[in-house]
Amino acid sequence: MKNESVIIERTFNAPADKVWKAITDKDQMKQWYFNTLDDFKPEVGFQTQFNVRNGNKDYLHIWKVTEVKPGKRISYEWKFGGYPGNSLVTFELFPAGEKTKLKLTHKGIETFLPDQNPALAKENFIEGWTSLIGSSLKNLVEK
């Protein structure tokens, strides 16, 4: 099984504390990320799940926070209910004056068995993350 990590890097015209809040505050996450997210806390061990409907399929997202370095880095396991596999999403922030570089790494996508579940293929994650980070998050933190 080959490694299917997705890595997206973007620099925002926004300070790191503003970007950190956007990626860890439930109310802000609902604006750019998943509007069906009910709860989120940047605390190791915190778990949440929420449904995302895509076409006529439901994807139960199950997250468990595994690492938090406030203002710098957060990681969480990301699984889908009813599907095999477990991945790890990491957001890292690198402040640069009034700007912030964000590096997103999503590892373990291959464990979702995209041959059997084409909707969970790497290409779809690349497309999704590119849109979420490059447009939705950018628009929120730079406004």
- Each residue of 84-99: pLDDT tens digit? 999 999 999 999 999 9
pLDDT for 4 = 73
Q: For residue 126, is it within any domain?
A: yes
Q: What domain count does the chain have?
A: 1
Interval 28-45: pLDDT, tens: 999 999 999 999 999 999
- Answer yes or no: is 1 within a domain: no
> SS3 sequence, the chain?
CCCCCEEEEEEECCCHHHHHHHHHCHHHHHHHCCCCCCCCCCCCCCEEEEEEEECCEEEEEEEEEEEEECCCEEEEEEEEECCCCCEEEEEEEEEECCEEEEEEEEECHHHHCCCCCHHHCHHHHHHHHHHHHHHHHHHHHHC
pLDDT value at residue 55: 85
pTM for the whole structure: 0.95
* Mean pLDDT, residues 56-83: 97
Domain presence at residue 12: yes
CATH of the domain at 45: 3.30.530.20
